[in-house]
Structure 1
Amino acid sequence: MANPHILRVMAGDVWAVGSVYEAYVGRWSRPVATEFVRWLAVPPATRWLDAGCGTGALTDAITANAAPALVVGADMSLGFLKGPTVVNADAAALPLATGEFGAVVSGLALNFVPRPGDAIAEFARVAKPGATVAAYVWDYTDGMQMMRWFWDAAREVDPAAPDEGPRFPICHPPALEAAWTAAGLGEVSVRPIEIPTVFTDFDDYWQPFLGGQGAAPAYLARLDPDRQRAIRDRLENQLPRQADGTIALTAVAWAVRGLRVESGTNRADVRMA
């Protein structure tokens, strides 16, 4: 259908302000979502669940590229959700029928779930046999360069600064493979999705870090003004610049997909693709 009904489901608050998220990383999530949906190649007229739908980048990519019959969006944050229909939910205890969807997906959200395995088990439960179950997460160790540059500069100023790389163990190919296989999903494959993240100037890079949402902005907000300024100065001096003043970086997300299989079958083949 060209204009499917979109139902967004939520409970509680994790990220509070959608516009702040959009300026920080939301704007980079749209090209990742588009490539992800194309990679899945789900047949048209399929019922989709977008778990952790956030501001709707993945939902919009599904609508634009997959001709879905229905998209149900689930998210924890009140500040992100929009649309006329809102229903309380939890990624680890979805109030949805077993075997209801032909595609269950999650974009840039799984690492924020306290127990990702519980959520993946729910994704598998609400997927019908043969359905695609898939997700993608940022590569916080090295691939998300805007954050890598920030944390490296922060640790020069404050050796005790945290680091998002070790914080999210699910954001690595072996962990994603293992989690999908443990949920009983078959034909599991993992691939990187790399996109350009080009900032028009240093302010375009720096200002989103002042929004207070996300690990890096929240850390920065806790610092005294002198340390904030020291990190800013290091970044302004160290970030690579193009001749026109733009800052051209890249961002990598790891994407994983598998198939919901009938109970009692064994199709836990794992491959990189």
Structure 2
Amino acid sequence: MTGDVWAVGDAYEVYVGRWSRRVAPLFVGWLGVGAGRRWLDAGCGTGALTSAILAAGPADVVGVDPSRGFLRSALDTARVAGDAAALPLRDGVFDAVVSGLALNFVPDPARAVAEFARVAAPGAVVAAYVWDYAGGMQMMRHFWDVAADPEHDESRRFPICQEGPLREAWAAAGLTEVATRSIEIPTVFASFDDYWTPFLGGQGAAPAYLATLSDDRRRRIREDLRARLPAGEGGEIALTARAWAVRGHKTAG
């Protein structure tokens, strides 16, 4: 299987980071965490979720990510290189443990959620959001429908990216008051090139997959997408992106 690539922050930003930055504030607002709390952003990437946390009010945020390239692109906050399934952090120290668009890329998501619960303080909120690859994240859904490669299709690779499995993972980690919601945003591309060019950056699952294909196969995918996508009179392509969010609480006792 093609390995996903996460190393170059700028290329990731134009691919999907720009859309994550629109989801993150809605997610943070849903959590209702007060100001001045200590947060962990597990799988912080280039800092979309960290930025939303800091924009909501004073907070102490620690970011953890396995990609040193992404960490170099993140905000000037405390950052640690590490694995979400084996967090290099002490037990019970965070008031909020969150993860944005990262949980599905951990080989064992259940272990990662258990780690989130371990480092959360009693009463803390533990939450995450992931793209709905099965249909709600339209820019990627169109790509995989055209690529027609079930082995690499993110909707098949990542069963955790659905409402039911997210609820089950949170409950299995002993978290209580588990709730889920969908978060949908518009993703409007100025032109077909605005849609297509970020797939050539090599950062993320679909771009990494595309980089392994022959020039002829890439051209066919590009032209099939051009014919498929709904372009307006000015060439703009108006799509939507949906994420599934989940939250729960660590018991206070």
TM-score (norm 1): 0.86
Structure 2 equivalent of residue 237 of structure 1:
227
**Residue in structure 1 matching 2:130, options 133, 137, 144:** 137
1:96 aligns to 2:89 (yes or no): yes
Tell which has more relative contact order, 1 or 2 (C-alpha 8 A, sep 6+): 2
| Offset, 1:161 | 6.6
Q: Distance in 2 between matches of 1:85 and 1:126?
A: 16
Q: Residue 234 of structure 1 aligns to a residue in which SS?
A: helix
- For structure 1, the residue ranges without an aligned partner over 5 or more in a row are 1-12, 264-273
Instruction: Return the alpha-carbon distance in structure 2 between the equivalents of residues 190 and 228 of structure 1.
Output: 37
Deviations 1:221-266 (A, max 9, x none): 1221111111111111111012221100000000000000035xxx
Kept after mapping to 1: 8 A contact 2:42/2:64: yes
State the Cα distance separating 1:85 from its structure 2 match: 5.3
Say if 1:154 and 1:161, in contact at 8 Å, map to a contact too: no
Partner secondary structure for residue 233 of structure 1: helix
Larger C-alpha radius of gyration, 1 or 2? Answer: 1
Letter in 1 for 2:139: M
Show CA shifts across 1:40-83 (max 9, x none): 01011111000000000000000001432x10011010111134
- Written as runs of structure 1 = structure 2, the 5 A alignment for 1:3-14 is none
The one of 192, 195, 205 equivalent to 1:202 is: 192
Say which SS state the counterpart of residue 81 (structure 1) adopts. Answer: helix
Q: How far is the alpha carbon of 1:160 from its aligned partner?
A: 6.5
Alignment CA distance shift 1:124-1:161 (3 Å) = closer
Consecutive unaligned residues in structure 2, runs of 5 or more: none
- 1:111 equivalent to 2:104? Answer yes
Identity %, equivalent residues: 66
Counterparts of 2:26 and 2:16 in 1: how far apart (Å)?
Answer: 17
- The counterpart of 1:175, out of the listed 152, 165, 168, is 165
* 1:251 aligns to 2:241 (yes or no): yes
For 1:117 and 1:142, how far apart are their aligned partners in 2? Answer: 23
8 Å CA contact retained: 1:189, 1:257: yes
Any conservation in 2 of the 1:124–1:185 contact (CA below 8 Å)? yes
Report the number of matched residues.
Answer: 247
Q: Is the 8 A contact 1:42 1:66 kept in 2?
A: no
* SS of 2:39 mapped into structure 1: strand
Name the SS of the counterpart of 2:68 in structure 1: coil
RMSD: 1.6
Match of residue 15 from structure 1: 6
In the other structure, the counterpart of 1:33 is 24
Distance 1:239 1:230, change over 3 A: same
How big is the shift at 1:14? 5.5
Name the TM-score, length of structure 2 as normaliser.
0.93
Contact kept, 8 Å, 2:67 with 2:81, in 1: the verdict is: no
